[in-house]
Amino acid sequence: MKRIKTDICVIGAGSGGLSVAAGAVQMGASVVLIEGHKMGGDCLNYGCVPSKALLAAGKMGLGYAEAKDHVASVIDTIAPVDSQERFEGLGCTVIRDYGHFISPREVQAGDTIITARRFVIATGSSPFVPPIPGLDTVTVHTNETIFDLREKPDHLLIIGGGPIGMEMAQAHRRLGCKVTVIEGAKALGKDDPELAAIVLDRMRADGIEIVEGAQAEKVSAEGGVTVHTTKGDFTGSHLLMAVGRKVNIDKLNLDAGQVAHDRRGVTVDAGLRSTSNRRVYAIGDVAGGLQFTHVAGYHAGVIIRSMLFGLPSKAKVSHIPWATYTDPELAQVGLTEAEAQARYGDRAEVARFELHHNDRAIATGQTTGLIKVMVVKGRPVGASIVGAGAGELIGLWAMAIANNLKMSAVAGTVLPYPTMGEINKRAAGAYFSPRLFDSPMVKRVVGFVQRWLP
């Protein structure tokens, strides 16, 4: 048995773990990086990267097999950035095995025991497959297997109408598959319902069947694959499960490390530090909060400040954006309209702007969509966007909320014409317009000044 002593031991080489390892080792800390599966984690191999590549393939007019080749090519192009070779080149000790705690100060990976001043759990999450009767009688695909499927599905059944399910539904429909989405509650139910409805209308217009309020009760191999629901039976050739995620903590032996946890992940404080073992931090999905790749990267920055410099650092969520990359895209940061009104009541104002008034959208034929900005006392507390490039457009509002900017900062920004980005400025203008153009006081002041100006 080999033994290693190090400053920081990172368990998991996904987005968050890689960010911590790269940052820490380049700033002078000794780092051991443990990964039992693929470098790059879920995002590179099964999530963000392949899903966006598959969506792009549908727009490119590729055939199904060609689309899968495109996905593989994209992963291969990005993989060297996350590779073992690169991180060993940076100075990390990389161990390719699963790690587990054997004491509060030790982790074992294969034949190596690592003692560290600080441990970072960055093991991410995996697709959750619920115990639906009959699933064992059919082939069940998840995001971990669907991108390797070379046989074009004749009719893809998708259980789950969240972002993963809806993205895969549209990608496969545009690659020529018949698609049915089965959702037990409301499709895209975590987003603003007015904006989500625009996406769902487009997808239905594309020929995707979306069945809401249909709880899957059992699955059988009748006619290929049949999902029996509270709203009837649906038969297809292939089944994709996209109902959510479960955190990857089963292999960690957290009890031996005296690391408190529950089904949501490691129990951490506001600084992402274990509440029971102060040597341990958790970031990304396994920290029990929002499950997005960019959150893991953000968490990495939070704990680096604490671990390397001993400075107080806390993770926030109010400025974290997310996007669903359907066509049109759907993006959110901060509070939705309903959440803002529930929290602030009449103090919450909503500024709106429709894309069909944007000259760039008109020129490119992408006029479907709108933006809502929720404002309290002159500052944005949330923004919801549906339309072309919504995932890019939401960034300005994420910056505004993160830095506590006023709406006047957005209104005073000069943007090139014509761009889709102008919708952000026009939304800010919609907030100020009533105050300027409908105010008797403003009219009186202007009238007074005009009479007395030389």
Q: Which CATH number fits domain 2-39+83-126+246-309: 3.90.1150.10, 3.50.50.60, 3.40.5.90, 2.40.30.40?
A: 3.50.50.60
Tally of CB atoms within 10 A around 88:
12
In Å, how far are 112, 192, 258 from 254, measured between CA atoms?
Answer: 18, 38, 6
Closest C-alpha to 29, from 13, 11, 9: 9
Helix residue spans in 138-264 (DSSP H): 163-174, 193-205
Q: 321-437 has which CATH code? A: 3.30.390.30
346 burial (CB, 10 Å; 0-12 / 13-18 / 19+) is exposed
pLDDT digits over 192-218, tens only? 999 999 999 999 999 999 999 999 999
Amino acid of residue 411: A
pLDDT value at residue 265: 97
- The SS3 call for residue 312 is coil
What are the φ and ψ backbone dihedral angles of 193, each rounded to 5 degrees?
-60, -35
> What's the pTM value of the predicted model, to 2 decimals?
0.94
The CATH 3.50.50.60 portion of the chain extends over 2-39+83-126+246-309, 135-243
Low-confidence ranges of the chain (pLDDT < 50): none
Amino acid of residue 33: L
pLDDT value at residue 434: 81
Tally of CB atoms within 10 A around 447:
10
8 Å CB contact between 82 and 35: no
What are the φ and ψ backbone dihedral angles of 99, each rounded to 5 degrees?
-105, 150
CATH fold for domain 135-243: FAD/NAD(P)-binding domain (3.50.50)
223 burial (CB, 10 Å; 0-12 / 13-18 / 19+) is exposed
The CATH 3.30.390.30 portion of the chain extends over 321-437
Q: How far apart are CA 237 and CA 39, in angstroms?
A: 32
Residue with tokens 């059988």: 220
Q: How far apart are CA 21 and CA 45, in angstroms?
A: 19
Beta strands 280-282; 112-121: pairing state: parallel
Instruction: Show the tokens assigned to 43.
Output: 């995002």
Q: How far apart are CA 69 and CA 57, in angstroms?
A: 10
Q: How far apart are CA 176 and CA 58, in angstroms?
A: 9
pLDDT value at residue 436: 64
Instruction: Show the tokens assigned to 137.
Output: 């009688």
